[in-house]
Amino acid sequence: GDALLPAPQNISILSTNMKHFLTWSPVIVQGETVRYSVEFQGEYEREYANESWIPICECSLITATVCNITEDISATVAYNLRVRADVGARRSEWGALKGFFNRITTSLTPPLMKVIADGYHLLVELEDMGPAFQFCVLYWKKGQESRMQQKVVKEVSSAVHLDTMEAGPDYCVKAQTYVEAINRNSSFSQTQCVRAQGGRSVWL
């Protein structure tokens, strides 16, 4: 029969490293394909635009139970999100995310990092995490933690030159990400140490 279609449940956000995904539990209707549509509402819409909602066209009438909302969560304010189901002409009520989502709560993971000694030169290779990310790289001569140096890295297309090394002592490096839009840092990566050896990389 034409029982009312239940609204999607267990609506939640998965947000890591400024990539935000809305997920929900599937609505089960035997023998039917259920489709879902997602809308968002920022603080501006709530307070200045009659609480209007904005559809995300990439997540209109989709069969998946996940939607990438990263492009639309592009301000550091509180957002509402909602999902509804459609089967043929039948349509459910909106299921809403409990509470707001603000991207400032995204979880930031330490960056993948590889430290290289190329002759007497200390270099670091960092994972490209997207335009929102910069990297704060700290490096020091082992045992001289008090004389730690810092370099902010924005371009990670190839090995970034940190400094020249004296032959002999170990040089250690660790890095954290920095997201300007939310003014937050990740925790630091594992420390990696290398030593200059006349042009050959030596891992310790």
Partner 1 sequence: SGELYCSLPNPRNVHFESINMKNVLHWSAPEGTGDGVLYKVKYSVYGVGKWIRKPECRNINRTWCDLSSETSDYEEQYYASVKAFLNGMCSDWMETTRFNPLTDTKIDPPMLSVSSTEKSISIILTAPEKWKRSPEGEAVSLLQVYPGLQYNVSVLNKKTKKRWFFSISNNTLVVPWLEPGTAYCVSAQIYVTTPLLHSGFSKEYCIATLKEKMA
Partner 2 sequence: TAGNKIFHFGPCRISMSMTEIRSSFTAIKANIQARDPIRTLSILSHPHSLHKVKSSDRCCITHHLFNFYVDKVFKHCKTEDSYVNRKISSIANSFLSVKRKLEQCHKQNKCMCGQESAEKFKQILANYEGLNVIAAAIKSLGELDILLNWME
Q: Which residues bind partner 2 (CB under 8 A)?
A: 40, 42-45, 47-49, 54-57, 71-72, 74-77, 131, 134, 136, 152, 178, 180-181, 183, 185
Q: Smallest distance, Å, CB 153 to partner 2?
A: 9
- Residue 118 contacts which entry, partner 2, partner 1, none (Cβ below 5-8 A, type-dependent): partner 1
Q: Which is nearer to partner 2, 67 or 194 (CB)?
A: 67
Instruction: Please choose, from the candidates 72, 40, 36, the residue with its C-alpha nearest in 3D space to the C-alpha of residue 54.
Output: 40
Q: Smallest distance, Å, CB 18 to partner 1?
A: 18
Half-sphere exposure of 77 (CA within 13 A, CB side): 14
Q: Which is nearer to partner 2, 36 or 40 (CB)?
A: 40
Strands of the sheet with 66-68, listed across from one edge: 12-16, 19-23, 66-68
Token pair 């997602």: residue: 38
Q: Which is nearer to partner 2, 72 or 141 (CB)?
A: 72
Q: Which is nearer to partner 1, 30 or 183 (CB)?
A: 183
* CA gap 90, 194 in Å, rounded: 64
* CA gap 71, 77 in Å, rounded: 14
